[in-house]
Structure 1
């Protein structure tokens, strides 16, 4: 068999390599399938010796093509999570689809470097999806009051307000609290104030400071109620009011983060 193979010389037709045998009587012989590599840098698919298909590596995208790809992936992600009520209505299948769509953007966008792009964090971001809300609690993956019929609490909009100069990182939650009939529901806005610091090229740590609750709507004239952070001696050792997350995608209008408990969050600038 080795002597037969040695009678073959490489040739190329239409830029696809094949083997041409000097001896016509050998041309119709069949050989086991194997992987052949030509002298060019390319991947070659498995095939028979008389029909080898060369597969070019995917071309590197230029800046314009990359931007168009990411835009299409962002539309796909936003379409996937729309109608899920920020994740409160997400099923297990919805969670998997959202995670897959987010991973496509993360891969296309590449690693995030907050030391160079910290200014992109600046602003008020609207939460449109959190995988942790599928637990049906306001605390997400952490303990929190349940939504639904057990408690008359309706979750409204959720925002993050980030100031890169003062290192302020505020989680702002709009809530509607049910009241006994015939009283109307009470609308409140809770602001959970934090400070933040970078702990890696794409990692952020937030440290809780205080919570401020302000009534809105018909009761907006009531002064805000401030709930300060408990002293260290009184706070549970398992909850120091801090949290960590990685920013896995960031541009001027979309931000994707993954939390320390595996929580996926998607924000848009507002």
Structure 2
């Protein structure tokens, strides 16, 4: 493959006597340098040595951009893998594998998430664009929930998460359209499952269920919200289905990837 040769490019700098460096830049963006008077072996990560230990390596400007460009391309790959799957409701086994593989590549490139340092990045309202558990064809995902299907008069709208890092509020918001007997129009509602959250370790989050509020929208938006009462203490299940733990495996200013305590992969974008 043809290369562009740039003599005396300042990739290596010797402190006492000058020497000529020839730098070869290939079409793929890789580079190498050959020291003509003394051996100068570039090592991965930016080190450059000589027998007299007086040669330093100056990182080229494009090297600092490579990780950001890699992450950008892997984000596009993940979003492409989950697009057209209706939040995961239309995903088959092959779709699940492709989405999981693309998420793992992005997680590896992004590195370990430290929420203690990046807690501000959680702030805001996030839209769910994919959940691997929705492939089970239930609105509860990997947990019990109403089934989905053509014969069931429930249409899933947007699924959102509203996170306030100052008050530790963590609300799951689900938009639903409930079918009604003809000639009545369908009823549009928004269900808000309110939680409190706390950090676990560097990247884990635990949410504790507080209450569920249902609000009609559309033609019936004038009706007041309804808070669904909880079961009496002695009738509640041993485990609170509204609570759980998950790990944030990738996080930046507009994209978040999580893995739940039941193996559920979720992908969110800021909205």
SS at match of 1:233: helix
User: Matches of 1:241 and 1:139 in 2, distance apart?
Assistant: 10
User: Matches of 1:155 and 1:252 in 2, distance apart?
Assistant: 27
Q: CA deviation at 1:88?
A: 0.2
- In the comparison of the two structures, how many residue pairs are matched? 215
> 1:1-38 CA distances to partner (integer Å, 9 max, x unpaired)?
xxxxxxxxxxxxxxxxxxxxxxxxxxxxxxxxxxxxxx
User: Matches of 1:228 and 1:73 in 2, distance apart?
Assistant: 44
User: Matches of 1:232 and 1:62 in 2, distance apart?
Assistant: 59
TM-score, reference length from structure 2: 0.76
- Partner residue, 2:78: 77
Segments of structure 1 that go 5 or more residues without pairing to the other structure are: 1-39, 44-60
- Partner residue, 1:183: 184
- Partner residue, 2:47: none
User: Matches of 1:266 and 1:180 in 2, distance apart?
Assistant: 35
User: Matches of 2:166 and 2:230 in 1, distance apart?
Assistant: 23
User: Matches of 2:87 and 2:64 in 1, distance apart?
Assistant: 32
Is the CA contact 1:202–1:246 (under 8 Å) kept in the aligned structure 2?
yes
Within-5 A mapping of 1:56-95: 62-95=63-96
Q: CA deviation at 1:240?
A: 5.5
SS at match of 1:94: helix
Q: Which has the larger radius of gyration?
A: 1
Q: CA deviation at 1:86?
A: 0.2
Q: CA deviation at 1:65?
A: 1.2
User: Matches of 1:121 and 1:109 in 2, distance apart?
Assistant: 16
SS at match of 1:66: helix
TM-score, reference length from structure 1: 0.76
CA RMSD, Structure 1 to Structure 2 (Å): 1.8
SS at match of 1:258: strand
Within-5 A mapping of 1:209-220: 209-220=210-221
User: Matches of 1:62 and 1:154 in 2, distance apart?
Assistant: 48
SS at match of 1:205: strand
Is the CA contact 1:111–1:248 (under 8 Å) kept in the aligned structure 2?
yes
Q: CA deviation at 1:223?
A: 0.7
Is the CA contact 2:211–2:228 (under 8 Å) kept in the aligned structure 1?
yes
1:197 aligns with 2:216: no
Which runs of 4 or more aligned residues in structure 1 lie more than 6 Å from their structure 2 counterparts after TM superposition?
40-43
Is the CA contact 2:143–2:241 (under 8 Å) kept in the aligned structure 1?
no
Q: CA deviation at 1:231?
A: 4.3
Within-5 A mapping of 1:133-148: 133-148=134-149
Is the CA contact 1:112–1:202 (under 8 Å) kept in the aligned structure 2?
yes
1:163 aligns with 2:164: yes
